[in-house]
Amino acid sequence: MMSSSLLIVKNLTVAFTTDEGGFNAVDNVSFEVQKGEIVGLVGESGCGKSVTALSLLRLIPSPPGDIRNGQVLFNSQDLLSLDIKALRQLRGSAISMIFQEPMAALSPLQRIGRQMVETLQLHSSMAAKDAWRQAEEWLTRVKIPNASERMFAYPFQLSGGMQQRIMIAMALMLHPELIIADEPTTALDVTIQAQVFDLILDMREEQTSILLITHDMGVVWEMCDRVLVMYASKIVEQGARDQIFFHAAHPYSRGLLRSIPRLKDNIERLPAIAGSVPSPLHYPSGCHFRDRCPHAFERCAKEEPPLVDLGSGHGAACFIAPDLVHNQDGVK
Ligand SMILES: Nc1ncnc2c1ncn2[C@@H]1O[C@H](COP(=O)(O)OP(=O)(O)OP(=O)(O)O)[C@@H](O)[C@H]1O
Ligand code: SF4
Ligand SMILES: [Mg+2]
Per-position DSSP letters for 160-217, written without gaps between them: HHHHHHHHHHHHHTT--SEEEEESTTTTS-HHHHHHHHHHHHHHHHTT-EEEEE-S-H
DSSP class of residue 300 equals: H
pLDDT at 208: 92
Contact present, 169 and 138 (Cβ < 8 Å): yes
- Indicate if ligand 1 lies below 6 Å from the C-beta of 227: no
What is the whole-number distance in angstroms between the Cα of residue 53 and the centre of ligand 3? 9
- Indicate if ligand 2 lies below 6 Å from the C-beta of 308: no
Helix (H, G, I), strand (E, B) or coil at 231: strand
pLDDT at 130: 96
Contact present, 198 and 168 (Cβ < 8 Å): no
- Indicate if ligand 1 lies below 6 Å from the C-beta of 47: yes
What is the whole-number distance in angstroms between the Cα of residue 306 and the centre of ligand 3? 25
Question: 42-46: long-range contacts at Cβ-Cβ below 8 A with a sequence spacing of 24 or more?
Answer: 42/213, 42/214, 42/215, 42/217, 42/220, 42/227, 42/228, 42/229, 42/230, 42/256, 43/215, 43/229, 43/230, 43/231, 43/256, 44/215, 44/231, 44/256, 44/273, 44/277, 45/215, 45/277, 46/277, 46/280
pLDDT tens per residue across span 26-57: 999 999 999 999 999 999 999 999 999 999 99
Distance, in Å, from the CA atom of 319 to the CA atom of 308, rounded to the nearest integer, reads 8
**Cα angle 309-10-234, degrees, rounded to a multiple of 5:** 65
- Indicate if ligand 1 lies below 6 Å from the C-beta of 59: no
pLDDT at 147: 95
pLDDT at 265: 53
Helix (H, G, I), strand (E, B) or coil at 17: strand
pLDDT at 269: 54
Angle between the N-to-C axes of helices 160-172 and 112-123, in degrees from 0 to 180, rounded to the nearest 10: 20
pLDDT at 270: 53
Give Cα separations from 248 to 19, 211, 213, 217 (angstroms): 38, 20, 19, 13
Q: Using the atom order of ligand 2, give the atom closest to the CA of residue 252.
A: 5
Please provide residue 237's backbone torsions phi and psi, each rounded to the nearest 5 degrees.
-155, 145
Give the residue, out of 304, 307, 319, with the most ligand 2 atoms within 8 A of its beta carbon, to mutate for a pocket test.
319
pLDDT at 281: 96
Count Cβ atoms within 10 A of the Cβ of residue 266 and give its class: 0-12 exposed, 13-18 middle, 19 or more buried: exposed
What lies within 8 Å, CB to CB, of 249 at 6+ separation is: 237, 308, 310, 314, 316, 318, 321, 322, 324, 325
- Indicate if ligand 1 lies below 6 Å from the C-beta of 305: no
What is the whole-number distance in angstroms between the Cα of residue 45 and the centre of ligand 1? 8
pLDDT at 1: 47
- Indicate if ligand 1 lies below 6 Å from the C-beta of 280: yes
What lies within 8 Å, CB to CB, of 129 at 6+ separation is: none
- Indicate if ligand 2 lies below 6 Å from the C-beta of 305: yes
What is the whole-number distance in angstroms between the Cα of residue 325 and the centre of ligand 1? 30
Q: What is the pLDDT along the chain (332 residues), one digit of tens a residue?
A: 456 899 999 999 999 999 999 999 999 999 999 999 999 999 999 999 999 999 999 999 999 999 999 999 999 999 999 999 999 889 878 999 888 777 777 899 999 999 999 999 988 889 999 999 999 999 998 889 999 999 999 999 998 888 888 988 998 898 899 999 998 887 678 887 888 888 888 888 888 999 999 988 889 999 999 999 999 999 999 999 999 999 999 999 999 998 776 545 545 555 678 888 999 999 999 999 999 999 999 999 999 999 999 999 999 999 999 999 988 865 55
Neighbour-count burial for 267-304, b at 16+ CB within 10 Å, e otherwise? eeeeeebeeebeebeebbebbbbbbbbeebeeebeeee
Contact present, 256 and 310 (Cβ < 8 Å): no
- Indicate if ligand 1 lies below 6 Å from the C-beta of 15: no
Give the residue, out of 19, 26, 44, 51, with the most ligand 1 atoms within 8 A of its beta carbon, to mutate for a pocket test.
51
Sheet holding 308-311, edge to edge: 95-98, 178-182, 209-213, 38-42, 226-231, 234-240, 314-316, 308-311
Quote the pTM value. Answer: 0.92
